[in-house]
Structure 1
Amino acid sequence: MKLSISFLAKLLILQYLSVQCLSDDFDFFYFVQQWPGAYCDSKQSCCYPKTGKPTADFGIHGLWPNYNDGSWPSNCDPDSTFDKSEISELISSMEKSWPSLSCPSSNGIRFWSHEWEKHGTCAESELGQREYFEAALKLKEKVNLLQILKNAEIQPDDEFYSIESIKDAIKEGSGFTPGIECNRDSRGNSQLYQVYMCVDTSGSDFIECPVSPRSKCGSDIQFPKF
């Protein structure tokens, strides 16, 4: 049986629209914060923002929609571009809590634009552009990772700590089990790089992670100075 070209075209359009709809549906967010000391103490090095060296604190990397099977959507709406005017009232907070460390030195706009277009557009069914960035800032305020670790006598002092003690401290301080991502410095040391916390689809409440991020860490990892 032959299918007409117009029917095939309609079928392809329907398939495309169904994929677009599915891409806007997700199960939870990863709220990811990175330690600047580990980002900068690697072969790729780093560049401070144009506003100067960031505070020695965990900085936001992103708020990423994910599926319970471990996969994730990305770049869901190419027509929804980053609009700085949407977050004009948040800029000063974002410069402090969501700094870019990539090179060349920047004002953060390129970083935030990437995060919105790759990840934020997949959450538009729940959060508009301003709400998306605002949600991440509020989540950072809810869980002060650095203070939690310091309370457990885990300091950014170039010393090594067991990864279990780091996880336990964050679980004790926040009520939820984190995922830990490590990188390696130029000497090959495994370092505390990023902390993943899971958040419900409203972007407001922490939850236990349905699936943990994959990462290779040693049993003891370095918490580098910054």
Structure 2
Amino acid sequence: MKSKCSILIHIVLLQCLVVLVASQGFDFFYFVQQWPGSYCDTEQSCCYPTTGKPAADFGIHGLWPNYNDGSYPSNCDPNSPFSPSEISDLQSSMQRSWPTLACPSSDGQQFWSHEWEKHGTCSESVLDQHAYFESALGLKQKVNLLQALTSSGITPGGSYSLTSIKDAITDAVGYTPWIECNKDSSGNSQLYQIYLCVDTSGSDLIKCPVFPHGACSSEIEFPSF
């Protein structure tokens, strides 16, 4: 009996260790910002948040733990649900910098809940819920993508080479971004999301160990919003 109990204890401890390692181990973050004009002018369209139309600026999509091989952890801790009370002091900043554009219109809670439960829980060993959202907001302040582009003559409403967009951001932040495109309702390729890489503390930009898959056209639109 003692032998069986000992084996069971070891199995349980091993399972706990596997879960712990899976939830704590990651190599870097993708910090992803999206252009609202490109979210809204697709066939699917968009809905403005209940707080009103967001500013014509890049908004946060997420801060996503990743591995150097290109894979990523997700939904690491089902026992750590999103709690609005944990970030009540950040809510006005999040409504401004991390707005939802999904339909139907909402106040953003569902969007933030998804980001925390899918991605944020996988960084809990480093960032608790408040620190996770606060870190993303801090990165948004540090990385002004719209200013980087407009300072190089790249303004909403025009069409630009993918290279010129990458170069403008690289010159401004010191690191090469990855650009994700989508298509407008007419099927034209356009600037949708910009990825930069961040160290595991969630505070400092780093050179990306790996980029996601996919490619944009050599010339892409930067739609107005």
Residues 143-189 of structure 1, C-alpha deviations (whole Å, 9 max, x = no match): 100011000000111x2111011000000011111010000112110
Identify the residue that residue 219 of structure 1 maps to in structure 2: 218
Which amino acid in the other structure matches residue 58 of structure 1?
F
For 1:152 and 1:142, how far apart are their aligned partners in 2? 18
Q: TM-score w.r.t. structure 1 length?
A: 0.94
8 Å CA contact retained: 1:180, 1:215: no
The aligned residue for residue 105 of structure 2 is 105
Q: What does residue 94 of structure 1 align with?
A: 94
Q: Which residue is 1:83 aligned to?
A: 83
Q: Judge which range, 190-199 or 21-30, deviates more.
A: 21-30
1:162 maps to which residue?
Answer: 161
Report the alpha carbon displacement of residue 225 of structure 1 after superposing the two structures with TM.
0.6
Distance 2:201 2:5 in 1: 42
TM-aligned CA deviation for residue 6 of structure 1: 8.9
Structure 1 residue 198 and structure 2 residue 197: aligned?
A: yes
Q: Per-residue CA shift, 1:19-48, capped at 9, x if unaligned? A: 442232100000000000000011111000
Can you list the C-alpha shifts for 1:24-74, whole angstroms capped at 9, x where unaligned? 210000000000000001111100000000000000000000000000000
User: Alpha carbon RMSD of aligned pairs, Å?
Assistant: 1.6
Q: What is the TM-score with the length of structure 2 in the denominator? A: 0.94
Q: Is the 8 A contact 2:23 2:121 kept in 1?
A: no
Q: Quote the residue 1:34 is aligned against.
A: 34
Q: CA deviation at 1:108?
A: 0.3
Pick which of 16-25 and 212-221 moved more: 16-25
Is the contact made by 2:162 and 2:218 (CA closer than 8 Å) also made in structure 1? yes
The offset of 1:88, in angstroms, is: 0.6
Once the 2 structures are TM-superposed, how far is the Cα of residue 132 of structure 1 from its aligned partner? 0.4
Q: List, as ranges, runs of 4+ consecutive aligned residues in structure 1 with deviation greater than 6 Å.
A: none
Q: Which stretch shows the higher mean deviation, 106-115 or 12-21?
A: 12-21
Residue-by-residue CA offset, 1:185-220 (whole Å, 9 max, x unaligned): 121101100000000000000001000122221000
Q: 1:130: which partner in 2? A: 130
Q: Tell me how far apart the structure 2 counterparts of residues 39 and 215 of structure 1 sit (CA, whole Å).
A: 17
**What is the CA–CA distance in structure 2 between the aligned matches of 1:154 and 1:9, rounded to whole Å?**
61
Task: Compute the displacement of 1:5 (Å).
Answer: 11
Give the percent of matched residue pairs that are identical in Structure 1 and Structure 2. 67
- Per-residue displacement from partner, 1:103-125 (whole Å, max 9, x unpaired)? 00000000000000000000000
Question: Is the CA contact (8 Å cut-off) linking 1:39 and 1:45 kept in structure 2?
Answer: yes
Aligned to 2:144: 144
5+ residue gaps, structure 1, are none
* Aligned partner letter, 1:170: I
Q: Deviations over 1:63-90 (max 9, x none)?
A: 0000000000000000000111111110
Amino acid at match of 2:214: S
Q: Distance in 2 between matches of 1:86 and 1:169?
A: 37
Question: Which whole-Å CA distance do the structure 2 matches of 1:142 and 1:24 have between them?
Answer: 26
Match of 1:188 in 2: 187
Who is 2:72 aligned against? 72
2:54 aligned with 1:59, yes or no? no
Cα distance in 2, alignment partners of residues 9 and 183 from structure 1: 51
**What is the CA–CA distance in structure 1 between the aligned matches of 2:193 and 2:9, rounded to whole Å?**
45
Give the distance between the partners of 1:214 and 1:23, measured in 2 at CA. 24
Equivalent pair of 1:161/1:223 in contact (CA under 8 Å):
yes
Aligned 8 A contact 2:22 2:76 in 1: no
SS in 1 for 2:131: helix
Counterpart amino acid of 1:80?
A: S
